Chain A
Amino acid sequence: MKKITIQLFIILFFFYGKAVAQQVFLEKVNIEFARTVTVWPLLKEMDPSWYEQVKSNYPQESVNYYSFVSDGKKSLYKQSKEAQITRNSILSYFPNENVIYNDYSNSTTVSQKVSYGENFLLQDSLLNIRWQITPDTRVIAGFECRKAVGVIYDSIAVFAFYTDEIKVSGGPEGINGLPGMILGVGVPKLHMTWFATKVNIATDTDIRSVTPATKGSKTNRSKMVSDINAATQGWTWGRKVFMALLL
């Protein structure tokens, strides 16, 4: 018995030492994200009186799943499992089926953004986010992540948790630009969070699927933003839906 304990101890020590000495940095990853919409407070902010009438028809939370596949240089983010959404529900207007292709070496993106009957094919540089780095950390899917707080388009606050153990500067939707992979995102205005539920090593088949979407009306970021701004003038509910499109 004693022998076994000592052996185990040695093995553990050996592995520990190895882990410290040879930290593994991942590059080829296939990450599953769960996007959770906290429905009730979202509806309440959209229209308090309407919320009182309809809240019983809505679930408190709605979860969609997405896959993020990358070889370290480029990545593809798309829906893998959709949430149970009742038809005509307000939730179906939010962009649930974006397909985001990012090329980190050239800093470009091809994003297919689908919302509210619109289908954009955005071709531009990567989304530029002003990130503020914080000392807070938490563990997501087994990775220790650091919290950063960002502002998109000078108006949308996001908080993100990234890990430097994955050498991809990407994240869910178009969120990127941190010194590591973003495994958790929260957008308080939209009552939405994205958290990685699984991190796998990407297979070659996975990597081959990393190709940009081709369908949609071609646009660039500034045009999309100004189109959305013009159409949602004085329509704050719509702004909320389209805000999700800007991510």
Chain B
Amino acid sequence: MKKLVSVLCFCCFAIAAFAQNASIKGSVKDTLEKKNLPDAVISILSSKDSILIKYTRADAQGNFEINKLTAGQYVMLITYPKFADFADKITVTEEKVLEIGTIPLTQKSLLLNEVIVRANMAVRIKGDTTEFTADSFKVKEGATVEDLLRQVPGMQVNSKGEITTQGKRVDKVLVDGEEFFGDDPTIATQNLKARTVDKVQVYDTKSEQDQMKGIGSAGQGSKTINIKLKASAKRGYFGNATAATNFDKLEHAKLMFNKFKGNQKISVYATRSNITTGILQGSDQRKLGIESDIEYDELNGYVSTYNSSSDFSDWNLRGLPDAYTAGALYSDKWNEEKQKLNLYYLYNRLGTKNTTTTISQTLLPDKTINYSNSRSTTSGLVQRHVMNGKYEWKIDSFASIKYVGVGTYSTKNSYSDSYSESKNDVRGLLNINQRTNDQEATKKQLDNVVTYNQLFRKQGRRLVATLRLGLTEDKQDGKLISSTEFYRNNTSDSLDLIDQLKVNTGNAVSGGFKATYNEPLNKLWNLVTEYSYNQSSSTSHRNSYNKDNNAKYTKLDTLFSNNFDLKASSNSGTVVARYIGKKISAAFGTGVSAIQLDLNNLDSLKKTKYNFFGITPQTQLSYTIKPQNTVSFTYRGNTVQPNLSQLQPLRNNDNPLNLYVGNPDLKVGFRHSLSMSYNNYKPLSGRYFYNGLSVSFSPNAITNRSSIDSFGKTVNMPVNVNGNRNWNAYGYWSNGQGEKKLIHGIDYGASGGRNINYLNGKENTNNYTNFYIYYGISYNVIDKWNISISPMAQRNLSKSSLNPGVNNNYWTFGGYGNVYVMLPLKLELSSDIEANLQQKTKAFTNPVRITVWNAELKKKLFKDKSLELGIIAHDILNQNKGLTRTINTNFMSEERFDRISRYFMFRVVWNVTKMPGN
């Protein structure tokens, strides 16, 4: 064998030698001077395309020799500095030396052509924006943007569609940089198809002015995802319609259609469902397209409102929904895209029915325990109309102006009927409460922001000015009927009856101006100065009426009534120095603000003035070790002003067993927040690593002082405490993304802290620590099958100084899993499972075991796969019970509520797409 190999090798060499044995010999001379030309360059080019084959230099005598040439035709090029080139065709034959003789350098020769190759381009990471090219992540056909995001490293999408990335929640999803039907990210992520997406960009949610200052909020903050559609997707139309039913009471229908014509875009969206609310997250004006502004928002925090914003949130949903959504969006760009318009209207309607039972226990400082059981039935209907307009005009290459306006009109009707009883393990029965609450509320809100942006001839010099105007009108009417019987030694002691009409109205006008100016000091340093003035004036009327002799609600109950005017104004200034070097970037500075509140109590005619002085020192440092390998550090300190309801002795008896009283002596608190992060991405190995840590300390933090009396009635009062702190760490590591089939990832986090409150006059210090770890592994064979599993473990630890002996520590296990298989006959089977197994504790003797297992079988029909038929099985194990447990060391509660559990549905999906090239 060995012999054979050596023989073969020998043959190969022999052939090679045989093939390259032609040579050329000659010499080069200067024809005029008759001198040799040593070091002249002799190049042998292929005669066909002038490719350089071999070259040599002439020796001291001007002689040259080129060996090992393959037989054939060549061009011989001889050059010598300041001489004309010599080029000639030569033919060499095997095993022969071509004697060229002496070459005189006098001739000129052939002209040759050049070749230029072109290529197409795309993107991935740019500055502080992380960008993912959609096509580099393999998803199955018909996959949505949400499926795509699940593949993106460092991104988690939970079963509700909520997205977190780099340990932060994604609060905004934009499509081509524009709001897409407002605040609900799932409208975009669950309805747009992955293959229409060109890129997914992730960056910190920051206003333009914050970007100028180069400092984000430490530790907090959220992320924005921008979905950039493919250019081809923006010429034509695409959409889908879904209808699903269980042929009984459950139905779910959805329609989304997008049409593009030049720069014009029209989208319509509608849903009807009684399995989801149609909206994922709670909504406020900010998420509807208004950028937040710390100073303006802070001042607006003094304005009291009655309607909460989380009414539509599927996340907070308790009970069975009955929901409708409808919306339309129009956007256009014209005048060479110098003018842009984006308009949308959205309507939501959500009816809910629910029954909640709650059991809770409170450990008192005297080591006795209060137990409470309650049950309430609620029904409600909330409706909201949103109108949003955004107009941008690039006046010239230096100046631009932008207007954003959001108007909302919402109404809410709700009725609740509840019963509760409280007991003490030593003293026996404490109280029994029965009440109904019937409310009707409307809220109108209009917010306007104009932003003017000016650049100057000097590079880096920039001015941004914003004007804000907000109008709010609130109205709430409610009827409260409550009877509470208090017990002493298990016998009735007293009875408290409430039968009141509550009329609350409020309105507010807020205005704000802010100007931010950046001056480049030199190539590395910039100075950013900012000034803002905000003002708001509001009126609030809260009146409670008791029945008069004619059974009409006319008698004012002054204890639970409160009427006031408030004028609030603030002046703030900030100076930040920014350094932007190649490896280090830094920003440090401070903001100061003076807030003045003029409170006019309309009942007592007493006027009160509050003056708060705020200071916000801030520092940010970031060091780029290598590109894609960055360490950054942020510090931000800010004063925390008490809000009006904390300061004013407002009394509210909506829940007569849980009362709040104000504290006019509250001091201004302070919060120090520090955060650090490390980010490393290696594209060649596909390794991504992120680690973040944030810590905050709050001297003079505002916390609760509760006193529970012997009848189980709680009175809460805000007080200042020292020593509150918390910390939070998060990390993510993943390996092997993109083309690779096998992907691992580890996602870990820990948080902890200390908070101090008072219970019955005793100081109670709670120390808590939580850890969790997810390990994810997925394997993907495109269009055949894929599987991904991420088991999770979590540990919760807490200790209270009041009851140091009580152990309420517990483990939680669970995680997610999903599998997809393409079966014969092109049937697609997919299934996912989410488990939450929580250990029992001393307070709750039964463990939580909720495993929600869903499956779906579908088949796509027609050549273009535009029609899809499917059968859905939701919560096959019928365990999707509404249950939340709250465990603090001295307070524990468990709430059970209605939730859609097991159902089976038949579903039809129709996709329409018309894109050029399809």
Do A179 and B43 touch across chains, with their CB atoms under 8 A apart?
A: yes
Do B683 and A231 touch across chains, with their CB atoms under 8 A apart?
A: yes
Neighbouring B residues of A239 by C-beta, 8 Å: 119
Which partner residue on chain A sits nearest B79 by CB separation? A164
Known: A21-B33, A132-B112, A132-B114. A50 touches B55 (CB 8 A): no
Do B121 and A45 touch across chains, with their CB atoms under 8 A apart?
A: yes
Neighbouring A residues of B110 by C-beta, 8 Å: 135
Neighbouring B residues of A46 by C-beta, 8 Å: 121-123
**What mask results when residues 223 to 237 of chain A are scored 1 for a CB within 8 Å of chain B, else 0?**
000011011111111
Do A144 and B82 touch across chains, with their CB atoms under 8 A apart?
A: yes
Do A118 and B121 touch across chains, with their CB atoms under 8 A apart?
A: no
Neighbouring B residues of A189 by C-beta, 8 Å: 117-119
Known: A84-B523, A157-B115, A232-B683. A132 touches B124 (CB 8 A): no
Which partner residue on chain B sits nearest A163 by CB separation? B81
Which partner residue on chain A sits nearest B623 by CB separation? A87
Which partner residue on chain A sits nearest B118 by CB separation? A189
Q: What distance in Å separates the Cβ of A31 from its nearest Cβ neighbour in chain B?
A: 17
Within 8 A of A (CB), among B61-86: 77, 79-82, 85
- Say if the beta carbon of A130 comes within 8 Å of chain B: yes
**Bound state CA distance, A47 and B125, in angstroms?**
12
- Say if the beta carbon of A174 comes within 8 Å of chain B: no
- Say if the beta carbon of B458 comes within 8 Å of chain A: no
Within 8 A of B (CB), among A82-127: 82, 84-90, 92-93, 114-119
Q: What distance in Å separates the Cβ of B222 from its nearest Cβ neighbour in chain A?
A: 21
Q: What distance in Å separates the Cβ of B518 from its nearest Cβ neighbour in chain A?
A: 13
Among the listed stretches A7-15, A147-155, A192-200, A205-213, which one makes contact with chain B, having 4 or more residues with CB under 8 Å of it?
A147-155
How many residues of chain A get a CB closer than 8 Å to chain B's CBs?
65
- Say if the beta carbon of B159 comes within 8 Å of chain A: no
- Say if the beta carbon of B605 comes within 8 Å of chain A: no
Do B628 and A236 touch across chains, with their CB atoms under 8 A apart?
A: no
Do B133 and A235 touch across chains, with their CB atoms under 8 A apart?
A: yes
Known: A89-B127, A179-B43. A135 touches B112 (CB 8 A): yes
Known: A135-B85, A231-B685. A177 touches B119 (CB 8 A): no
Known: A133-B77, A134-B114. A237 touches B122 (CB 8 A): yes
**Bound state CA distance, A89 and B624, in angstroms?**
12
Do A238 and B116 touch across chains, with their CB atoms under 8 A apart?
A: no
**What mask results when residues 45 to 60 of chain B are scored 1 for a CB within 8 Å of chain A, else 0?**
1000111100111000
Do B121 and A178 touch across chains, with their CB atoms under 8 A apart?
A: no
Known: A146-B79, A180-B41, A238-B683. A87 touches B116 (CB 8 A): no
- Say if the beta carbon of B606 comes within 8 Å of chain A: no
**Bound state CA distance, A23 and B45, in angstroms?**
25
Q: What distance in Å separates the Cβ of A112 from its nearest Cβ neighbour in chain B?
A: 13
- Say if the beta carbon of B821 comes within 8 Å of chain A: no
Which partner residue on chain B sits nearest A48 by CB separation? B121
Do B50 and A133 touch across chains, with their CB atoms under 8 A apart?
A: yes
**Bound state CA distance, A89 and B121, in angstroms?**
18
- Say if the beta carbon of B886 comes within 8 Å of chain A: no
Residue in B30, B37, B49, B126 whose CB lies within 8 Å of A132: B49
Within 8 A of A (CB), among B614-660: 624, 626-629
Neighbouring B residues of A133 by C-beta, 8 Å: 43, 45, 50, 52, 77, 112
Known: A134-B50, A134-B114, A165-B81. A118 touches B682 (CB 8 A): yes
- Say if the beta carbon of A240 comes within 8 Å of chain B: yes
Residue in A20, A50, A135, A235 whose CB lies within 8 Å of B108: A135
Do B45 and A149 touch across chains, with their CB atoms under 8 A apart?
A: no
- Say if the beta carbon of B684 comes within 8 Å of chain A: yes
Which partner residue on chain A sits nearest B630 by CB separation? A88
Do B135 and A159 touch across chains, with their CB atoms under 8 A apart?
A: no
- Say if the beta carbon of B817 comes within 8 Å of chain A: no
Do A148 and B52 touch across chains, with their CB atoms under 8 A apart?
A: yes
Do B585 and A236 touch across chains, with their CB atoms under 8 A apart?
A: no
Neighbouring A residues of B113 by C-beta, 8 Å: 134
**Bound state CA distance, A151 and B167, in angstroms?**
46
Known: A167-B39, A189-B117, A231-B686. A130 touches B51 (CB 8 A): yes
Neighbouring B residues of A93 by C-beta, 8 Å: 125, 627-628
Neighbouring A residues of B80 by C-beta, 8 Å: 23, 164
Neighbouring B residues of A130 by C-beta, 8 Å: 51-52
Do A235 and B136 touch across chains, with their CB atoms under 8 A apart?
A: yes
Q: What distance in Å separates the Cβ of A13 from its nearest Cβ neighbour in chain B?
A: 14
- Say if the beta carbon of A5 comes within 8 Å of chain B: no
Do A178 and B123 touch across chains, with their CB atoms under 8 A apart?
A: no
- Say if the beta carbon of A188 comes within 8 Å of chain B: yes
Most buried by A among B80, B124, B580: B124
Do A132 and B127 touch across chains, with their CB atoms under 8 A apart?
A: no
Which partner residue on chain A sits nearest B580 by CB separation? A87
Do A88 and B123 touch across chains, with their CB atoms under 8 A apart?
A: no
- Say if the beta carbon of B466 comes within 8 Å of chain A: no
21 A-B residue pairs with CB within 8 Å: A19-B82, A20-B82, A23-B39, A56-B397, A87-B584, A93-B627, A117-B682, A117-B683, A144-B82, A148-B52, A164-B40, A164-B81, A179-B41, A179-B52, A179-B55, A180-B41, A188-B116, A233-B738, A234-B738, A236-B120, A237-B122
In the A-B complex, list the 3 residue pairs whose CB atoms are closest, starting with the nearest: A179-B55, A117-B628, A131-B52
Given contacts A25-B39, A49-B228, A130-B52, 9 further A-B contacts (CB under 8 A): A46-B121, A87-B585, A90-B126, A132-B112, A144-B82, A163-B81, A188-B116, A231-B738, A237-B121
